[in-house]
Structure 1
Amino acid sequence: MTPAMDPSQVRWAIAGILAVFFTAGLSMNIVLTALPVIVSDLDGNQIHYSWVVIINLLANAASTPIWGKLADMVSKKRLFQCAAVIFIVACLLAGFAPNMEVLLAGRLLQGTAMGGVTTLTMAIIATVVPPRERGKYAGWLGLCMTTSTLGGPLLGGFIVDVSSWRWCFLIGVPLTVISGVLLTKVLQVVEEKRPVKVDYLGSVLLVASSSALLIWLSFAGVEEYFAWVSWQSGAILFGAVLLLALFALVERASSEPVVALRMITNRTTFLALVSSVCIAVSLGALPPYLMQYFQLGRGLGPTEAGLMLVPMIFGNLVATTVTGRWVTRSGRWKRYLVVGAVVLTAGLLGLAAAAGSAPVWLTGVVLFVVGLGFGAQMQNLMIAVQNTVPVTRVGQASSLIAFFRTYGGAAWNSVLATVMAVQVGTLAVATPTVGHGDPTYANAGAVAFLVAACISLPAIISNALMREEPLRTTI
């Protein structure tokens, strides 16, 4: 239950939530272009270099379902404030880090906070806005997610060029503080009080199993670590599967499970999770290899390569905004998911075809199409799942989508990395030369984009098999 909030209060409250959501998302990606400088400045090594990204992703994905469970048991507003405070502490810790170990601790906290911010943003919007009306906010949520993911590396490179890399972390502090104050004053969420009973064993098993899986996906096949077929790979994968099986047994017996397994048996929820994993390749995995393709394969400079991602961002904004409004008007969502999946797959196929020697402007047009396809699905999948559960379970439903989307992005990132490595061979350590593209990288990019299209293809089938239920007009 929520007290009456007039439209102005709702807009201001959601603006505050989205500001923190955008800042936290930006923090995950802004560091990518600054990593070489950071690791050199703090006397780090290659393992440190990898783990600055990996530890953040691990904490984000593993903590998401736990935040979702807590969101259904205690105040979402208080939890969001807690996540914002953790994020501020993490930014300060990383920003003033004297060595790599402290920096990694800050990145761990950042990932934990991001898991909470992502889940609670969706859960709070679902609490104060009926499903039928949520479409109008989907465009803003999609824009924040896409812009922070694709714009982060460009902003990080700019900060390193004009100032210290430490501002890549410190820049998030003032915006989060301002947004938190706004949220505290405006947001009114009164929820049904329930006894807080945390499934500690389930939480530990979830973190352990998901961390093991992501470690395997991150390091397997990398020459410096271990091969796909090796005793190390087998041991980690066996341990992950065993922990996952134990997690499932514990959750079935728990009265307050971290993840309600019965929720996944719902047809719409299950198919939406499959679709979320598949489309994650376009936002969670594709951008790093687009940057590599543009800089190494086509000879563009870092700023030019970053600007080539703008059409994709704009396409996502157009699709999320337009389809969100159409969903709000009609209460129907399935048609947009199916069309979006078809457009996304066609866009990725077009990207593969244009990657060889097509004009760069044509590649930009195709990226706009890719953004349209992804944008038509991302938040509408969330709305479809939230519509299948009561408001007391919306936190878990939101966290499930976020969890699978994060893991999908991580998995496909590893797959595309392997594809690129196989194609370029010893050229994997090439240095970008502005104005001189390497055909080997251009062709490798084409293969990677084709693989991405194949990965997104099952989303068409999943979306088509969903049983559409008209969106509720009440909370």
Structure 2
Amino acid sequence: MTHPQIMRALSGLLLGLFCAILSETVVTNALPRIIGDIGGGQSAYTWVVTSSLLAVTASTPLWGKLADQFSKKVLVQSSLVVFVAGSLIAGLAQNPTTLITARVVQGLGVGGLSALGQIVLAAMISPRERGRYSGYLGATFAVATVGGPLIGGVITDTSWLGWRWCLFVGVPFAVIALVVLQRTLNLPVPRRKATVDWAGAFFVTAAVCALLIWVTFAGDRYAWLSWQTCALVGASAVLTLVFLFVETKAAEPVVPLRLFRNRTVALASGASLFVGVALFAGTVFFSQYFQLARGATPTMSGLMTIPFIAGLFVSSTVSGRFISRTGRWKAWLVTGGVLLTAGVSLLGALRYDTPYAYVAGGMALMGLGVGTTLQNLVLCTQNQVSADDLGAASSTVAFFRSLGGAVGVSVLGSVLTTRIGDHAAGTIGRLGPQDRAAAAKASGGGELPDPAALPHAVRDWLEGAYGHGIGDVFLYVAPIALLALLVTLFIKEVPLRSSGGPERPADEPTP
């Protein structure tokens, strides 16, 4: 495809990816109001987030494998249709059960678009040129991921719109993307026997669900060391073993285990797992930090995360262009790991009164690190596999990124609750007797407090606890970012090929 043809096709793909990722983050600042309006409690609050993450993570490998067997164009359009259906149902929901179900449907569509974005790109462009265009995917992912809370805050704070438009906002973009893709995206359909490994898809979904349900409620509904933990972790382990056995027997496995014999695929998947923890930690906890530790409005909270968006946008586009020129990518991965570790470590010192310039610097470094690693981990993987495994390999790396994010956010959320409680309990003695009752109510009950409704002294006390607790969360993320850096050091650099993936024969030996 020529550059103009690629850009026209890419416009529809980027639009679809933007609306899908946006749907995951746009509700962040609106959730307290959403749950209050439809009559839900803390359990519903948790499940509105978790249900979508479950669907995205569990469905990613299946979408990737289907892309190796069916028309990629039809699959992308199907993902958009599923996403639109879920969005419409969610926006019209009148009770928590309907909303949670709709978020599952949304998550299935988002999982498809997340997995298929890189796969479609690889079908159009050779690995050598792919870095340049992968930068556009990374930039879109960055803007949608971190810009979502800003858009959601503006919509929620605008009286004539309301929170339902946070769920509707992606629908017109998805419809336009469907039309554009129909007119501009023309890819060859794989000429292979269409067999789907439904058993493998079921067991990997069940294993991931058991794991994510455990980390979502551990430390809240039950202790980390409890019979519930033993049951859910044991179930996840058994289901994983069954999945691995099924994959060894399947004619067309969802995740071909032979891919992990390739060191690059195995290491890139591991690094993607750790980067996913850092990425999603930033997108979730930045919003809480600015609103609950610094008293910002939802709109201001979104604006204050711009350094992270800018860093991610610049690094993903710049690194992509340089990689396309030189065919070399490892230096960018290593540099990204260093920047990510440095940024997260700086954010570990956060407090409620930390100067914003310091916070912005840490966010910018973190964004630069994520931007130079996220897309390039997929790129180096695609460069090492045959055309027949392109979809499975790409979605495997994306699966581990989503899994890292889902598990990381759940575990770190539990850590945050514990640390906030510890800091609050250690400083409550500074309050007068008349303020302690309000303080106990604000820090208990499992719901997010409204700082504006609290007495001044209690508000300062609570902001201090949140600021310290969120800083501690980033201290926990720092060694995980360091692990991502160490893993990338062991990935062997193979210069990017100038031939396209689809023309590469399946029996060509892997470099």
TM-score above 0.5, yes or no? yes
Q: C-alpha separation between the residues in 1 aligned to 2:485 and 2:20?
A: 31
Instruction: Pick the structure with greater CA Rg.
Output: 2
Alpha-carbon RMSD across the aligned residues, in angstroms, is 1.7
Corresponding residue for residue 456 of structure 1: 481
Q: Does 1:147 align with 2:166?
A: no
Q: Does 1:113 align with 2:138?
A: no
Letter in 2 for 1:353: A
Corresponding residue for residue 259 of structure 1: 255
Q: C-alpha separation between the residues in 1 aligned to 2:363 and 2:63?
A: 34
Corresponding residue for residue 198 of structure 2: 200
Q: Post-superposition shift, 1:40?
A: 2.3
1:134 to 130, 134, 148: 130
Q: C-alpha separation between the residues in 1 aligned to 2:48 and 2:471?
A: 28
2:388 to 377, 389, 392: 392
User: In the alignment, is the contact (CA less than 8 A) between 2:29 and 2:153 conserved in 1?
Assistant: yes
Q: C-alpha separation between the residues in 1 aligned to 2:33 and 2:187?
A: 44
Q: Compare 42-51 and 354-363 and name the one that shifted more.
A: 354-363
Q: C-alpha separation between the residues in 2 aligned to 1:169 and 1:372?
A: 29
Q: C-alpha separation between the residues in 1 aligned to 2:317 and 2:214?
A: 37
Letter in 2 for 1:431: D
Aligned length in residues? 469
Corresponding residue for residue 363 of structure 1: 359
Q: C-alpha separation between the residues in 1 aligned to 2:414 and 2:173?
A: 37
User: Cα gap change, 1:105/1:441 in structure 2, threshold over 3 Å: closer, same or farther?
Assistant: closer
Letter in 2 for 1:72: D
Q: Post-superposition shift, 1:379?
A: 0.6
User: In the alignment, is the contact (CA less than 8 A) between 1:146 and 1:313 conserved in 2?
Assistant: yes
Q: C-alpha separation between the residues in 2 aligned to 1:351 and 1:94?
A: 35
Return 5+ residue gaps in structure 2 as ranges.
Answer: 425-442, 501-511
Corresponding residue for residue 304 of structure 1: 300
- Give % identity: 42
User: In the alignment, is the contact (CA less than 8 A) between 2:128 and 2:327 conserved in 1?
Assistant: yes
SS in 2 for 1:336: helix
1:40 to 17, 36, 49: 36
Return 5+ residue gaps in structure 1 as ranges.
Answer: none
User: In the alignment, is the contact (CA less than 8 A) between 1:286 and 1:413 conserved in 2?
Assistant: no
User: Cα gap change, 1:446/1:102 in structure 2, threshold over 3 Å: closer, same or farther?
Assistant: closer
Q: Post-superposition shift, 1:8?
A: 1.1
Corresponding residue for residue 283 of structure 2: 287
Q: C-alpha separation between the residues in 2 aligned to 1:471 and 1:394?
A: 15
Letter in 2 for 1:200: W
1:469 to 494, 498, 505: 494
> What per-residue deviation string (whole Å, max 9, x for no partner) do you get for residues 44-74 of structure 1?
2332221111111101110110001100001
> What per-residue deviation string (whole Å, max 9, x for no partner) do you get for residues 115-165 of structure 1?
111111110000001110011112221121122111212211221221122
Corresponding residue for residue 184 of structure 1: 182
Letter in 1 for 2:93: A
User: In the alignment, is the contact (CA less than 8 A) between 2:154 and 2:298 conserved in 1?
Assistant: no
Letter in 2 for 1:137: Y
Corresponding residue for residue 433 of structure 2: none
Q: C-alpha separation between the residues in 1 aligned to 2:205 and 2:12?
A: 29
Q: Does 1:166 align with 2:185?
A: no
> What per-residue deviation string (whole Å, max 9, x for no partner) do you get for residues 45-104 of structure 1?
332221111111101110110001100001000111111111111111112223322222
Q: Post-superposition shift, 1:25?
A: 0.6
Letter in 2 for 1:337: L
User: Cα gap change, 1:170/1:445 in structure 2, threshold over 3 Å: closer, same or farther?
Assistant: closer
1:217 to 215, 218, 231: 215
SS in 1 for 2:251: coil
Q: C-alpha separation between the residues in 2 aligned to 1:53 and 1:340?
A: 28
User: In the alignment, is the contact (CA less than 8 A) between 2:351 and 2:464 conserved in 1?
Assistant: no
Q: C-alpha separation between the residues in 2 aligned to 1:384 and 1:182?
A: 29
Q: C-alpha separation between the residues in 1 aligned to 2:37 and 2:467?
A: 32
Q: C-alpha separation between the residues in 2 aligned to 1:75 and 1:410?
A: 29
User: Cα gap change, 1:281/1:296 in structure 2, threshold over 3 Å: closer, same or farther?
Assistant: same
Q: Post-superposition shift, 1:354?
A: 5.1
Letter in 1 for 2:477: A
Letter in 2 for 1:153: P
User: In the alignment, is the contact (CA less than 8 A) between 1:337 and 1:377 conserved in 2?
Assistant: yes
Q: C-alpha separation between the residues in 2 aligned to 1:108 and 1:371?
A: 28
Q: Post-superposition shift, 1:278?
A: 1.0
User: Cα gap change, 1:294/1:228 in structure 2, threshold over 3 Å: closer, same or farther?
Assistant: same
Q: Compare 284-293 and 134-143 and name the one that shifted more.
A: 284-293
Q: C-alpha separation between the residues in 2 aligned to 1:97 and 1:359?
A: 41
Q: Post-superposition shift, 1:244?
A: 0.5
Q: C-alpha separation between the residues in 1 aligned to 2:92 and 2:50?
A: 20
User: In the alignment, is the contact (CA less than 8 A) between 2:350 and 2:470 conserved in 1?
Assistant: no
After TM superposition, the score normalised by the length of structure 1 is 0.95
User: Cα gap change, 1:96/1:60 in structure 2, threshold over 3 Å: closer, same or farther?
Assistant: same
